[in-house]
Amino acid sequence: MNAARITIEPMQAKYNPQVGRLLVHGFRGKFQHLTNMSDEDLALFFEKLLEHIPAEPASRRIVALEEGEVIGTLSIKWNANSEIKEEKKQLPSWRSFNSFGKWNLLKLFIGLSLLDHKPQAGECYIAAVVVHPDHRSKGVGKLLLEWAQQFVQAEPSLNILSLHVSGKNPRAKHLYEQLSFYTHSQENSILSHFLFDEWKWNYMVLRLK
């Protein structure tokens, strides 16, 4: 793969269907353990989340494109300072999600809540980084993470980049270590084990300033 052909762009609504399908590759193991939903239903669920739930003010999502195809995505968020007024979130119309069933929806939103991390002052948290399986080990993930590093370096109020990686994913942990992330702490979660079959999480940090 020629990295010069890959472009990094801000998320746009037109990419919602492709990003929804891409997120299945990143979260299938967690959410299919939680529900019996098919890949197609999960992709539609993520697409509707992107469509109906507004992004937090202190957040960004980007996509990696190759010839118009979304092959990777990364989302970050940080602690909203006094300059950013927290807006009251409007819940989406449940009619948009009716087709998934109330019990599945309840479990999915509980799962999303459990995965949510509240960044501290100065912390920029990588909420998700996903590369399409056909494009892994080709430098796409590195490009996305380098964009996040540059974002933090350009923001005076931010000084560290952080993320969580599953104890079951040594390959991803190795990638982050190659980019100078280090394991700040290890967390064991009984609830995460029950919901996702994920017991251990590594909280990794990259100090940039």
Which residue ranges make up each domain of the chain?
Answer: 6-82+100-207
Q: Which residue has the higher pLDDT, 85 or 187?
A: 187
Residue 82 above 50 pLDDT?
Answer: no
In the CATH scheme, what architecture does the domain 6-82+100-207 have? 3-Layer(aba) Sandwich (3.40)
In angstroms, the CA 205 to CA 197 distance is 24
Residue 3 above 60 pLDDT?
Answer: no
Biggest distance spanned by C-alpha atoms of the chain: 47
Q: What confidence score (pLDDT) does residue 64 get?
A: 98
Which range of 137-141, 160-164, 170-174 scores highest in mean pLDDT? It is: 160-164
Identity at 87, one-letter amino acid code: E
**Cβ atoms of 208 and 153 closer than 8 Å:** yes
Residue 4 above 70 pLDDT?
Answer: no
